[in-house]
Amino acid sequence: MTSKRNILVTGGAGFIGSHLVERLLAEDKWRVTVVDDFNDFYAPALKRANVAPHVGRDDYELVEADIRDRVAMERVFAATARFDCVVHLAARAGVRPSLVEPFLYAETNITGTLNLLECARQRHVPQFVFGSSSSVYGINAKVPFSEDDPIRQTISPYAATKAAGEMLCHTYAHLHDLRCVALRFFTVYGARQRPDLAIHKFAKLISRGQPIPVFGDGTTRRDYTYVEDIIAGVRAAIDYTASDYEAINLGESRTVELRELIALLERELGRKAVIDRQPMQPGDVPQTFADISKARRLLGYDPQTQIEEGVRRFVAWFNTQGMKDEG
């Protein structure tokens, strides 16, 4: 019988992380260690519910720790003979909150990432997958966004910290023989989505008959990507070996206007939205749109879920589980 490989997933109690952990455990060839600090950015109880099905398994370990704590991270790495891969998804997320707490975002997303890269270097981890963001493209006027586009026009502290994380990954790949794959996620949604994100937040407000805040005239556009498609891309990146460093877009390769998204939610929820018009927010980009040709070529990435089907699946989950969440 082949021995199981060791993998560390930071942020493994969160939205994307918990879906990845489910996928890895279902394969039955991984020993998964999750690091999560269960901070109060949104209700910790939601994240605890995400990990509850796995606690007690022989092939699963949960470590409650903060990636900013270098000593704690060194202990995590020392407790395992060697991780075959680190998937680093833990971060302070969100554009608007980063405008309020830029130091917290820098400490978590830059120093925390550096702590993990340094631990990986010291312990000779061969593979490091970094969860980056489409926010790094900032006010890029060229669409769709390509990995070859410069990322010098970030317009929020969050975006700047993600760009810095990518640069740290490139540096460690160049200096220390640590293969790094930076995945630029484009507006991920699906079951267990964070309650602060638009689709989940709007569904909750519409279902209650409460106004939804719409910033601008509703024509901002996003490349919404269903979580199962994102997980397929992350899983492929874990096995990627063809080069030492890559930045790769993971999107759906279609851009959807906010007002179209609201109409889809209205249809699936069977209720009309009450719109609360507000001015555009500092740090928000007018559109995101992924060129995924590189992901197709290097990772065999092939997203399957169009926004209409994805919203239908999300609302099905929301009607059975999401409405219970008060996060």
Active-site residue set: 158
> DSSP letters of 127-148?
EEEEEEEGGGGTT--SSSB-TT
CA 125 vs. chain centroid, Å, equals 22
Give all strands of the β-sheet with 5-10 in edge-to-edge order: 60-64, 30-36, 5-10, 85-88, 127-133, 179-185, 245-250
Residue matched to tokens 């990990």: 51
Distance in angstroms (rounded) separating the CA atoms of residues 247 and 22: 25
Q: Interior CA angle at 181 toward 283 and 131, to 5°?
A: 40
Q: Which two tokens stand for residue 178?
A: 């640590």
As a whole number of Å, the end-to-end CA separation of the chain is 43
SS3 180: strand
Distance in angstroms (rounded) separating the CA atoms of residues 310 and 222: 14
Q: Interior CA angle at 118 toward 15 and 8, to 5°?
A: 35
Decide if 160 contacts 210 (C-beta within 8 A).
Answer: no
233: Cα within 13 Å, side-chain hemisphere: 34
Distance in angstroms (rounded) separating the CA atoms of residues 77 and 192: 28
